Amino acid sequence: MKSKSVGILTKPKFPEAKTTLQGVVTWLRDRSIVVLLDTTSATLLGEQDGVQKTQLAGKADVLLVLGGDGTMLNAARLAGERSIPILGVNMGGLGFLTEVRLDNLYPSLDRVFANDFIIDERLMLKTHVHRHGETVARGVVLNDVVISKGTLARMIELKVAIQGQFVTNLRGDGLIIGTPTGSTAYSLSAGGPIINPAVQSLILTPICPHTLTHRPLIVPGNDEIEVTLTSKADGAMVTLDGQVGIAMTQGDTAVIQASDHRTRLIRFPESHYYDVLREKLKWGDG
C-alpha cells in the first residue's frame, strides 16, 4: 500500500497503550510515513498536534486502531463515506473485528505496506429517526441499531414494517436490527443466529419478546426496515453501535437500511472467520 498517511486511534485505558503507541509512531516516522494522531493519542504522547476524531478519516489514507472492538466500531463510523481501510490491533481480549495481535504488530504493518493483504468489505446500516415528518437523528453503524426500553420503563410496543409491508406488532424489551458483523454482538446474546459477514443480509432480533413465537428474522440486505414506537414509553432509546443514544417518543419511526458505504477491514489471507469464531466462542478444536 502506497500509504502517505496513517491515522491512529487509541483506547488509552489499556496498560500497553502508551508504549505501543510510542513504538508504532516511531516505526512509521522512521519510514517517512505521515502519522496523524487523534487528540486522545496525541495527549497520551504529550504531542500538541492531535486531530479531532471526526476529521481523522478525512485526512488519513488508512486507519490504525489500537484497542478493542468498541474502538473499531468507532473507527468504522468515522471512516464513513471515505471507506478508507482499517487495521485493528487487539489490545484487550480476542475481538471479532481486530485482526492483529499485539505481538504480531510490526510484521503485520510490514505486510500492509508490501500490499500483502486483502480487504474485507462489511455491510453497514444507515438510520434516520423521524418525528412528525422531520428527521431528528441519523447515523451509520457497523454492528447494530437497537430500539429498547428505558431503565424503569415497562415493555415497549413496536410496529415493524419491511419494504412497506406490515410485519408485526412486537411487545417486549426491544428490537435489534443488525448486520452480519453485528450478529456476534448483542444479537447473539439475545438468541440470534451467527451470520457469516459475506452474506448480504440484515437480522431483526427481538429482545425478551412478550410473545415467545417472535423469533429472529433474517431479511435481504437491501430491504428497508421501519420501526415505530407505538407505546407511550418514557426512556425508550435508539442506540447506534452501543455508543450513541437517541431518545424516542411515541410515534417516532426509525428507518433502517443498508448504507451505500462499506467498512473496509484489512485482513490477511491466512486468517479465517471460522478460526475467530472457534477461538472466541471456545468451540472444539476439531
- As annotated, the active-site residues are 69
Residue with cell 417486549: 172
Q: Can you name the residues that pair with 159 across neighbouring β-strands?
A: 169, 228
Q: Which helix (H) or strand (E) holds 257?
A: strand 253-267
Residue 165 CB contacts under 8 Å (≥ 6 apart), including other chains? none
Q: Are 242 and 269 in contact (CB under 8 A)?
A: no
The candidate with the shortest Cα–Cα distance to 224, out of 133, 137, 162, is: 162
Which residue type does 3 have?
S
**What distance in Å separates the CA atoms of residue 225 and residue 71, rounded to the nearest whole number?**
27
Q: Would you list the DSSP string of 129-190?
A: EEETTEEEEEEEESSEEEEE--SS---EEEEEEETTEEEEEEEESEEEEE-TGGGGTHHHHT
**What distance in Å separates the CA atoms of residue 168 and residue 30, rounded to the nearest whole number?**
59
The candidate with the shortest Cα–Cα distance to 100, out of 173, 20, 33, is: 20
Q: Kind of pairing, strands 217-220 and 100-101? A: unpaired
**What distance in Å separates the CA atoms of residue 233 and residue 246, rounded to the nearest whole number?**
14
**What distance in Å separates the CA atoms of residue 55 and residue 53, rounded to the nearest whole number?**
5
**What distance in Å separates the CA atoms of residue 35 and residue 254, rounded to the nearest whole number?**
38
